[in-house]
Structure 1
Amino acid sequence: MAQIYISLGSNINREHYVKQGLLSLAKVFELPFEQLTLSSLFESKAVGFDGAAFYNMVIGIKCTQNVEEVASMLRAIEFSHGRDHNAKKFSPRSLDLDLLLFDDLIINEPAQLPRDEIIKNAFVLWPLSQVAPELTHPIVKQTYRDLWQGYNKTSQQLSIVANCW
C-alpha cells in the first residue's frame, strides 16, 4: 500500500465543496470516511490572483492504486464537482485536489512529486505538518514539522477555521 497526501482547496461555495471533496475521496478510494487522515481546515487569501479566500486542508490516505491512477482519480473528482476543464492556474476553484506526495517518489509526470508548493505555500505546508509531522521531504531531507517551524509565517496569512465535516 502507498501512503499519499492530497491538498484540497476551494474558494467557491467553500463549505459545500470541501465536504463533497472529502466524501468523494472516501468513495473513490473505497475507504470509510474515518480512515482519511485529516488536517485542520484553514482559510487563506488567494495566491497569484485577486479572488475570494480559500479553504484548504491536507488529507492522508493509504491506497493500492498507482500514481497514474491516483492522478486520474483526482482530476475526475474535480471535474465532477464543477471544475472547468480549461481553468487557468491562478483562478477561482470549486474544488482543487493536488497530489502532494506518493510515498517518497520523486517524479514530474503524471504529477510533480513531491509537489513544489509544499515548501512554498503555508496553506500546504502547515496542514501537511499536522498530518505527517515526522515524515521527511524526499528532496530537502527535513521533516514537515521542521520545515513548518522554519517557514516565514509573515509571508502568507493563514487561520484555522471550524471543521465543517
Structure 2
Amino acid sequence: MNTVFLLIGGNIEDRYKHLGKAVELISQQIGKIENVSAVYETAAWGIQEQADYLNQAIQVNTYLTPQELMKAARSIETNMGRERRVVWGPRIIDVDILFYNQEVIQEEKLFIPHPHLHERRFVLTPLEEIAPDLQHPVLKKTIRELLDACPDPLWVRKFSYGAAVGG
C-alpha cells in the first residue's frame, strides 16, 4: 500500500461542488482517503488576473504505481471537463501529486515530489493541516518548516461555504 498526498483545486463555476466531485472520484479511482484538509480559498498563482481558487489537500492510500496514479489523476480532470489551454490558467479542477511515499521520481512528465510545492503557500497551508511533520525527501524539511520559510506572498484563508454563498 502506498501513501500519497494530492492537492485538488479549481476556480471555474461552482468551485466547492467541483472539489466534492473530485474527492468522490479519487475515492473511487485512486484509493482509500485517509485524511482531508479544510477547503482553502487562495489567490491565483502564476496568472493572477483570474478568479480565486479553492484548494484542498488529501491523503490517500493506493495500490496504484506512480504512473498509474498520474494517469488516474489526469482522467479525473478530463472527465470533470478540464481543458488544458493556458499554463496556470483557470480550470474546473486540478489534481496534483505532491508526494508518493518518500519516493523521488523524475520522468519526462512525472515529477514527485511536486517540484514547486515548497514555493506555494496555497499548497503548503492545507498540506500542513493534515501532515505537518511529513518530511520532504529532497529538501529534508517538514511541511511545517517549509510553510514557515515559504516566500510566496499570496493570501490563503479557510473557506466558509455559507459566507461565500449567502453573505
Q: TM-score, normalised by structure 2?
A: 0.89
Query: How far 1:108 sits from its partner (Å)?
Result: 1.9
Over aligned residue pairs, what C-alpha RMSD do you find? 1.6
- The aligned counterpart of 2:156 is 158
CA deviations 1:26-85 (Å, max 9, x no partner) are: 111353xxx44101111111112110000011100011110010000000000000011x
Structure 2 portions without partners, runs of 5+: 163-167
Question: Given residue 110 of structure 2, which amino acid in structure 1 is its aligned partner?
Answer: A
- The aligned counterpart of 1:15 is 16
Partner Cα separation in structure 1 for residue 102 and residue 38 of structure 2? 23
Partner Cα separation in structure 1 for residue 150 and residue 2 of structure 2? 28
Contact 2:37 2:58 in 1 (8 A): yes
Q: TM-score, normalised by structure 1?
A: 0.90
Partner Cα separation in structure 2 for residue 105 and residue 71 of structure 1? 14
Contact 1:12 1:92 in 2 (8 A): yes
- The aligned counterpart of 1:74 is 73
- The aligned counterpart of 2:58 is 59
Matches within 5 A, 1:76-155: 76-84=75-83, 86-109=84-107, 110-152=109-151, 155=153
Partner Cα separation in structure 2 for residue 7 and residue 46 of structure 1? 15
Question: Given residue 62 of structure 1, which amino acid in structure 2 is its aligned partner?
Answer: N
Question: Given residue 41 of structure 2, which amino acid in structure 1 is its aligned partner?
Answer: E
Between stretches 56-65 and 101-110, larger displacement belongs to 101-110
Query: How far 1:163 sits from its partner (Å)?
Result: 6.5
Contact 2:31 2:63 in 1 (8 A): no
**Percent identity between the two aligned chains:** 25
Partner Cα separation in structure 2 for residue 128 and residue 75 of structure 1? 21
Partner Cα separation in structure 2 for residue 129 and residue 121 of structure 1? 12
Contact 2:119 2:151 in 1 (8 A): no
Contact 2:125 2:156 in 1 (8 A): no
